[in-house]
Structure 1
Amino acid sequence: MKALALFLGGLAACWGMFAGCASAQVQAQAQPVDVLHWWTSTSERRAANQLSAYLGANGVQWRDAAIPGGGGMAAVKVLKSRVLMGDPPDVAQLIGTTLTEWADVGLVLPLNGVATRQRWAQNMFPTVMELVSYQGEVIAAPLGIHRINTILFNRRAFARAGLQPPKTWAEFELAARKLQTLGIKPLAWSDEPWQIATVFESVLLGEAGPALYRELIVQRKSSAWMDPRVERALNRLRWLRSINGDTPREQTWTDAARELLVGNVAMMIMGDWAKGELMAWGASPGKDFGCVVVPGTENMHLYSIDTLAMLVNSRHREATQEKVAELVSSLPAQMAYNRIKGSVPVHRDIDVSSLDSCARDSWDTFADPRSARVPSLAHRMAADESIKDAVAQILWRYVTDPRMEVADAQRRLAAVIRAPGAER
């Protein structure tokens, strides 16, 4: 966080001349916009194309700058480089805590006018508005809500084994054993650090519950990491890696989803963007696969929210940038985008009957005031880039090195996840 703040602080000086862009007279004719993002899988590409087509039909040309790489790490590096070179994109996929870091140094165009005209506060979920608001300013256009604590399962594999999708870890273990006797791998797995972190935070939420999860992830109470429930989550993580019996390897999440689709594996713990990918390949949640929550996380929504920020630059496209925000946050664009992406709209006033079964459960849970909505650590909702990466690396080391004791992993996690100003 400090390193990024220093980096962006330096950039702010370079870009101080553009601080008055928002008040400058803009050109009457709509201009194209450069959009930097990391939507590069089949479903993500189609979802981005849907937005591009919608903008094009409304007088805005989307100039695509897609940067491949799991979790957006490569895209963030390219974005920093472009800003440093004096060529920031007009629109960038910035999510979670990254938004406030860029807004802190004046590089994000405020969208208060758009939010007021479209009544975002009235039409969108409060959790979404909290995420895109900072120091009295609306700093991004929200697109969709992803649910992280999701198990996708192959319906044919479960039918062949005579199984129902697991609701508890005991049922999960029973299913794993039965699937193995049929020669089916129980769980898709990758040793990519961000994917390990994605699995862990879902398991942690189930073992710890939302109150302790918030202490650990949101409030960053170091002492809480020594709780026995964290120990159980770490033990469960190691067990999940081991259940296939072979030597785990790194693979992309799309490769893991493909294994699920063809039936080589029966289950996958991943955000519901994997559902979008399966659907892009022609699979149906009603026929080919299904979705259930990770055991212990019923009535909980571990979320990640897609957002687009409009960046201050020298091209004087503020009017077009505001138009982009208006268009992508409109209900028609939201419904079309999220249907492909696997996520659900940020609007509270949608027709839920138009959603598939997986999306309907996600939206209903997020909308229910009795549910627990908790931010993802692995996907930048609850911590900055440096903390997220440090946690992922510790978890990777823990699951790949059997010599590391659980208590050691807990102490290491406690050391990197600290509240600002906490004593060491």
Structure 2
Amino acid sequence: MKTKMFKPTVLALSLFAAGASFAGEIEVLHWWTSGGEAKAASALKLTLQQKGDRWKDFAVAGGGGDSAMTVLKSRVVSGNAPSAAQIKGPSIQEWAQEGVLANMDDVAKAEKWDESLPKVVSDIMKYKGHYVAVPVNVHRVNWLWANPEVFKKAGVKVPTTWDEFFTAAEALKKAGVTPVAHGGQNWQDFTTFEAVALGVGGTDFYKKALVQRDAATLSSPTMEKVLTTFKKVKDYTDKNAPGRDWNLATAMVINGQAGMQIMGDWAKGEFLAAGKTPGKDFVCVPAPGTDKAYTFNVDSFAMFKLKDKANIEAQKHLAAAIMAPQFQEVFNLNKGSIPVRLNMPMDKFDDCAKTSSKDFVATSKSGALLPSIAHGMAVPSAAEGAMKDAVSQFWNDDKMTAKDAMAKIASAAKAQ
């Protein structure tokens, strides 16, 4: 399929005119190394090359682990930072505090980023009110994926409440399939946990307990109910869940081994790759009780301070290009996510993406657009790691009570 390139924006053209005589080099640390992501990276690379800039890949296969961040730190400390690096959530603020990120306000103002982004997202891209990072996309995390054929055989409907969820799970179990496909890794455990917290406790509870880490809310009767409901979900997973990768859990739903999975919209890529059609072969609905809320995972690039004038101009080209509507469309059609820009045309996207976009816009207005803790969007990395460990310990220890878990999570939430 021929990739449709986008027209340069007014800012991009003006920057190009200013910098055409001395093309800059853009070095980008990213994880766009497979499938649709690699196609999207190629589209961005081509666009910047057309502006006269040189693209230097600093790609890390396999999802960017600690080693990549170690390399980045050594590069920054030695005064040889890349133009941009794939960093997200509170980690952006942590890098900005070191004084190594570049101010992108001129690009943001010319391109009207404030008007194009929900405030909860733009705030994550800023440090002390100034843009230092650029968002690429939005993944909705609070999805429930279901196999309608399996539900039909079990004689139940896809659930929209937690009561319906457990009724359906019991029927699926009796029909001889695993009700809930799950991978027992701490981020997957927490993805389920935060969906339960949002569905049982609501938006205000989620903000207070999991984003603000309010001690009283973490120790409340609502939190006890959340944990009890969360643990009940485990009864409907299979014994082989521990250590299973998320995509293998998705495959269980695809092939009818399991009825449903709570997972972000990257799961959709697995269904599509298997030749399945949304609304026919698989169903995407908000996790039980969360239809009026939206937990998000936003990929973004932090922009590092550079010295070379041509490279600084090229970096601004990159920032403008990432947020340009046409690239947002090309990238997200390939990635399975949706554009981070509000009110983008969605006619080329599938039904799940259209629902996601509609809810993204609605929750950005209602205040129910919420950062995902499981996916590094809400709390400092130390607190996130400690909270994940506490939740997984509760999930895996049949002797631990909800009250014990509350104490562990409250303690973990204090980590900085």
* TM-score, length-scaled by structure 1: 0.85
Deviation, structure 1 residue 196: 1.0
1:160-175 equivalences under 5 Å are 160-175=153-168
**Is residue 340 of structure 2 the alignment partner of residue 346 of structure 1?**
yes
Q: 2:238 aligned with 1:242, yes or no?
A: no
Q: Residues 218, 71 of structure 1: CA spacing in aligned structure 2 closer, same or farther, 3 A cutoff?
A: farther
Q: Secondary structure at the match of 1:302?
A: strand
* 2:133 is aligned with 1:140: yes
Offset of residue 72 of structure 1: 5.0
CA positional deviation for 1:166:
0.8
Aligned counterpart in structure 2 of residue 309 of structure 1, from 286, 293, 302: 302
Pair 1:40–1:286, CA change in 2 (3 A) = farther
In 2, the alpha carbon distance for the partners of 1:314 and 1:320 equals 12
Higher mean displacement: 110-119 or 60-69: 60-69
Does 2:370 match 1:370?
Answer: no
| Aligned counterpart in structure 1 of residue 148 of structure 2, from 136, 151, 155 | 155
- Matched residue type, 1:99: I
Q: 1:322 aligns with which of 304, 316, 319?
A: 316
Taking the aligned partners of 1:78 and 1:264, their CA distance within structure 2 comes to 41
Q: 1:71–1:194: 8 Å Cα contact kept in structure 2?
A: no
Q: How does 1:24-35 map to 2 (within 5 A)?
A: 28-35=21-28
Query: Counterparts of 1:74 and 1:410 in 2: how far apart (Å)?
Result: 33
The whole-number CA distance in structure 2 between the counterparts of 1:60 and 1:262 is 46
Tell me: CA distance 1:186–1:39, structure 2 relative to 1, closer, same or farther (3 Å): farther
Aligned CA distance change for structure 1 residues 27 and 54 (closer, same or farther; 3 Å): closer
Cα pair 1:146 1:271 within 8 Å, conserved: yes
TM-score where L is the length of structure 2: 0.87
Range with greater deviation from structure 2 (275-284 or 141-150): 275-284
Unaligned runs of 5+ in 2: 1-17
Q: Tell me the amino acid that sits aligned with residue 255 of structure 2.
A: V
Q: How does 1:72-87 map to 2 (within 5 A)?
A: 73=66, 75-84=68-77, 86-87=79-80
For the residue of structure 1 that corresponds to 2:120, the secondary structure is helix
**Inter-partner Cα distance in structure 1 for 2:268 and 2:59:** 21
Q: 2:350 aligns with which of 347, 356, 359?
A: 356
Q: Which residue of 2 aligns with 1:17?
A: none
Are the counterparts in 1 of residues 20 and 52 from structure 2 also a CA contact under 8 Å? no
- Whether 2:410 is the aligned partner of 1:417: answer no
Which residue of the other structure, out of 386, 391, 399, is the alignment partner of 1:390? 386
Amino acid at match of 1:322: K
State the 1:384 CA deviation: 1.1
In structure 2, relative to structure 1, the CA distance for the partners of 1:29 and 1:289 (3 Å cut) is farther
How far off is 1:225 after superposition? 0.9
Q: Report deviation, 1:311.
A: 1.6
* 1:204 Cα offset (Å): 0.7
Letter in 2 for 1:325: A
In structure 2, the CA distance between the partners of 1:233 and 1:81, relative to structure 1 (3 Å rule), is farther
Secondary structure of 1:308 counterpart: strand
Is the 2:104–2:131 Cα contact (8 Å) retained in structure 1? yes
Q: Distance in 2 between matches of 1:267 and 1:122?
A: 37
Q: CA deviation at 1:171?
A: 1.7
Shift of 1:81: 4.1
% same residue: 34
Query: Match for 1:319: what amino acid?
Result: E
**1:110/1:361 Cα in 2 relative to 1: closer, same or farther (>3 Å)?**
same
SS in 2 for 1:407: helix
Q: Give the superposition deviation at 1:147.
A: 1.1
CA–CA distance in structure 2, aligned partners of residues 387 and 196 of structure 1 = 16
> Which letter does structure 1 place at the counterpart of 2:356?
S
> Within 2, Cα distance between the matches of 1:306 and 1:200?
22
Q: Report what 2:331 is aligned to.
A: 337
CA distance in 2, matches of 1:46, 1:175: 39
Deviation at 1:300, TM superposition (A): 0.3
Q: 2: distance between equivalents of 1:273 and 1:66?
A: 20
Shift in Å at residue 279 of structure 1?
Answer: 2.5
Q: Secondary structure at the match of 1:114?
A: helix
Please give the root-mean-square deviation of Cα atoms over the aligned residues, in Å. Answer: 2.5
Compute the displacement of 1:283 (Å).
3.0
Q: CA deviation at 1:410?
A: 0.7
* 1:353 alignment partner, SS class: coil
**Quick check: 2:102–2:305 contact (8 Å CA) kept in 1?**
yes
Q: CA deviation at 1:308?
A: 0.9
How far, CA to CA, are the matches of 1:279 and 1:68 in structure 2? 22
Q: In 2, are the aligned partners of 1:155 and 1:288 still within 8 Å (CA)? A: yes
> 1:227–1:87: structure 2 CA closer, same or farther, 3 Å change rule?
same
Which secondary structure does the structure 2 equivalent of 1:412 belong to?
Answer: helix
Post-superposition offset of 1:319: 1.1
CA distance in 2, matches of 1:385, 1:128: 18
CA contact (8 A) 2:37 2:331 kept: no
Residues 189-338 of structure 1: pairs in structure 2 closer than 5 A: 189-313=182-306, 317-338=311-332
1:111 matched residue in structure 2: 104
**Residues 344 and 359, structure 1, Cα contact 8 Å, conserved in 2:** yes
Report the residue type matching 1:393 in the other structure.
Answer: D
Q: CA deviation at 1:123?
A: 2.5
C-alpha deviation, 1:27, in angstroms: 8.4
Q: Indicate conservation of the 8 Å contact 1:365/1:371, yes or no.
A: no
Change in 2 beyond 3 A, CA 1:222/1:284? same
Q: Which moved more, 1:332-341 or 1:65-74?
A: 65-74
- Residues 142-185 of structure 1, C-alpha deviation per residue, up to 9 Å, x if partnerless? 11111111111123323443433211122212222222233322
Figure out how many residues of one structure are paired with residues of the other and give that number: 396
